[in-house]
Amino acid sequence: MRAMILAAGFGTRLWPLTVDRTKPSVPFLNKPLISHSVEYLHRFGVDEIVINLHHQGDSIRQALGSGEAFGVKIYYSQEEEILGTSGGLDHARNYFQDATFVVMNGKVITDLDLSAALKHHKERRALATLILKENLNYEKFSTVLLNEDGNIRGFGAYPENRSSSLPLMFTGIQVMEPEIFNYIPRNCFSHSTTDVYPKAIAEGKVIAAYTGTGVWQEFSTLARYLNISLEYLHQQGQNRILGKDSSIAEGALVSNSILWDRVRVQTGAFLQRVVVGDDVSIPAGTKLENAVVVRRDKCKEIEKGEVVGENLVVKI
């Protein structure tokens, strides 16, 4: 079975962590985030994966290569101009003409049951099936609306008021038939939830909903990246993680923090809830809380934050 991982976004809300890589290449538990998606798909029988690239695409090529290390074959679809969630699929349509396939976002961690979603998709004879989750915390994700048959009838606004029934949200994981390309505009920017599914629903096509239970985490902001990383570390009895060749000097205090590769924390530094990018040196006596630190020389332009010596510090 084939799948596509959407990975062409700019990662704007994760800047400056995305200054030299795309969002799905940001490390999670010392592995590129997208590698977790590859492993997830392979676990459910996917053996060929297409990944669309635009911003800092080489960071994904370097992380995944041919896919051999993951037991899959990976193809890359380079977008000269960013094309959106369904425009990117259109650009890679030649890979998906023959059989049911899966599309997922490259910025999520999940253990949702894809096999059950595929079974539901076949039973409903759907053009597409979206995997949904209950929005337990009423977060700012668009609400998915169902009809009396339990299929999708549309997409609403963010949930505002708590009600007796929990709002449903789209996880970014979906099963599709090749006929979906009849509804995707050719050779232009487009999004599935605004340009494709509404048109198919209006023509009476079944866009099914499979509501899953289990782990689903989405890394769209600096705060979410840090909080989710710490949640997983705490489950393992840890409160910090160090990447390759990183070190903390004696007398430095580092807790609830994420250190990437080749980080040096010098004596007397205090870091609490801090993400430190590759090759950063934290000077002796530095005190930081709720911040991201990257090397200043990696940033062509300073979008936000404060330059401190050789580093750029951005508050979370």
Q: What was the pLDDT predicted at 287?
A: 98
Instruction: Answer whether 212's CB lies under 8 Å from 117's CB.
Output: yes
* Parallel, antiparallel or unpaired: strands 257-259 and 270-276: parallel
60 pLDDT above the threshold of 80: yes
- Give the number of other Cβ atoms within 10 Å of residue 55's Cβ: 17
pLDDT at 303 (0 to 100): 83
Say what the pTM is: 0.94
| Per-residue confidence band for 6, with pLDDT thresholds at 50, 70 and 90 | very high
Which residues does 91 contact at the CB level (< 8 Å), separation at least 6? 52, 77, 79, 83
Q: For 207-264, what is each residue's pLDDT tens digit? A: 999 999 999 999 989 999 999 999 999 999 999 999 999 999 999 999 999 999 999 9
Percent of the chain, pLDDT > 90? 92
Quick: pLDDT tens for 113-165.
Answer: 999 999 999 999 999 999 999 998 888 899 999 999 999 999 999 888 777 68
Dihedral sign computed on CA atoms, order 152, 154, 158, 163: negative
CB atoms within 10 A of CB 12: 12
Mean pLDDT in residue range 99-107: 96
Looking at residue 161, its pLDDT comes to 75
Query: Rounded to whole angstroms, how far apart are CA atoms 104 and 283?
Result: 41
Res 10: pLDDT? 86
- pLDDT score, position 164: 67
DSSP code at position 127: S
Q: How many CA atoms lie within 13 A of 283 on its CB side?
A: 8
Residue 311, both tokens: 């580093």
Domains of the chain: 2-218 (3.90.550.10), 222-315 (no CATH)
Share of the chain above pLDDT 70, in %: 100
Q: What would the pLDDT profile of 265-295 be if each residue is shown by its tens digit?
A: 999 999 999 999 999 999 999 999 999 999 9
First-to-last C-alpha distance (Å) of the chain: 40
Q: Residue 79 pLDDT more than 90? A: yes
